[in-house]
Chain A
Amino acid sequence: MHELSMTTQIVETVLAEAKKHGAKKVIEVKLVIGKMTFLGTDQIGFSYKILTEDTILKGSKLTIEEKEGTIECPNCGYKGTVPIKDDPAYHIPVPTLQCPECRRAAKIVEGKECTIKSIKMAK
């Protein structure tokens, strides 16, 4: 829902980097978006197209790499991907922070990224 404002910040950051390096054109931007964020990659792509229209980013390629969620249990030390509870009573598979080993509460350690991984630009 806040993809537009997040993408605005991404575009501003890329523009600042491009200026710093004296680039005339940005060719490609690579992002990493965690699956534990509320960011939709399609909406980011759509916002990016609109926001870059009148900038040196116009026509640049946007590559989005999605990152799986990982949890770590402070209790037993388990580390792994976010478990999915597939209880037929729920009709839908539901991600959970319950540690699959000891059933206590684990913490999210990966999957909350919204990172500009690299920028390719031309001078």
Chain B
Amino acid sequence: MADANDVIKGEEVTLEIEPGMNILEVNKKLAQKNKERLNKHNVKAIDIMGSIGAGKTSLIEKLVQKLKNKYKIVVFKGDLTTTIDAERIGKHGVQVITINTGRECHLDANVVAKAVERIKIEDIDLLIIENVGNLICPAEFPLGTDKRVVVISVTEGPYMILKHPFTFMNADVMVINKKDLAQTMKIDTNQLENQAKEVKPDVKVAVTNALTGEGVDELIKALEL
């Protein structure tokens, strides 16, 4: 066989290489590194995903209020722009780092690794990451957290789980928020819970009202915190 470099001038030689690189694997490996780093310092980490307006920030506010005496908490807040949510969470006396993604529809393990550089990892024991408001893309990019939570709310309609099964396959815990509006919206939260368990039999479910804090203790239990 002739060497690819050993050719008569003017002739075109084609090379077929098989790099076999999985582009998504790059994120997964970085996520694994994040996980090892957090575990080494005994930091528990939680990734909170869900649509815009599902109530992720309100839930985090309630989680922080209930857990800040038990854990030293840092919150990473993913958003395209603005620090509005970071200010909301920061009012409860915890450090919040905003990760503005610009155009990107999700956080990835790389931006989380950069944010971890900016905290004193030795001084904390709980990291809560609020992902970009989006029910789809974040599920594709693990960040290296111990638990992944998907928040949906009854105002998003009865088909959230059936329409996005792949998102729920990536969740350890599902929150059904705005339970106080379920009757008005004619939504049966039990039915949503059953659908989630059909897609992912081992998912844990908490039904909440993030404004009053109802159901947040169940969520804390589901997160094993």
- A-side residues, CB < 8 A to B, are 1-2, 5-6, 9-10, 13, 17, 21, 23, 27, 36-39, 85, 90-92, 94-99, 103-105, 108, 112-123
Given A2-B105, A17-B17, A97-B169: A9 and B23 interface contact (C-beta under 8 Å) = yes
Q: List B residues 1-35 near A (Cβ within 8 Å).
A: 4-5, 7, 12-26
With A13-B23, A23-B15 as contacts: A5 and B104 at CB distance below 8 Å = yes
Q: How far apart are the CA atoms of A120 and B14 in the complex, in Å?
A: 6
Given known A2-B137, A123-B7, contact A36–B16 (CB-CB < 8 A): no
Query: Which residues on A sit within 8 Å (CB–CB) of B25?
Result: 115
| 6 A/B residue pairs, CB under 8 Å, sorted by A | A5-B104, A92-B163, A94-B195, A95-B169, A114-B23, A115-B23
* Cβ distance B82 to chain A, nearest Cβ, rounded Å: 20
Residue of A with least CB distance to B163: A92
Please state if A1 and B136 are interface contacts (CB–CB under 8 Å): yes
Q: Is the CB of B137 within 8 A of A122?
A: no
Tell whether, in the assembled complex, residue B13 and residue A6 are in contact, meaning their CB atoms are under 8 Å apart.
no
Stretch at the interface among B40-48, B181-189, B198-206: B198-206
Measured CB to CB, the closest approach of chain B to A83, in angstroms, equals: 10
A6 to nearest B CB, angstroms? 6
Interface residues on B, range: 35 or more
- With a cutoff of 8 Å between Cβ atoms, the chain B residues found around residue A120 in the complex are 14-16
Nearest A residue (CB) for B104: A5
Choose one: B12, B137, B163, B166; the contact of A123 (CB below 8 Å): B12
Candidates B13, B21, B163, B200; contact of A116 at CB < 8 Å: B21
Most buried by B among A10, A92, A99, A115: A115
Given contacts A119-B19, A121-B14, contact A112 B169 (CB under 8 A): no
Give the residues from 170 to 224 in chain B that come closer than 8 angstroms, CB to CB, to chain A.
195, 198-202
Q: Which B residues lie within 8 Å of A37 (CB)?
A: 24, 140
Within the complex, the shortest CB–CB distance from B46 to chain A, in Å, comes to 20
Q: Do A2 and B23 touch across chains, with their CB atoms under 8 A apart?
A: no
| A5 CA to B89 CA, complexed, in Å | 30
Q: Are A122 and B23 in contact (CB-based, < 8 A)?
A: no
Determine which of A6, A17, A92 lies in contact with B19 in the assembled complex, contact meaning CB atoms within 8 Å: A17
Interface string of B122-139 (1 = CB under 8 A from A): 000000000000101101
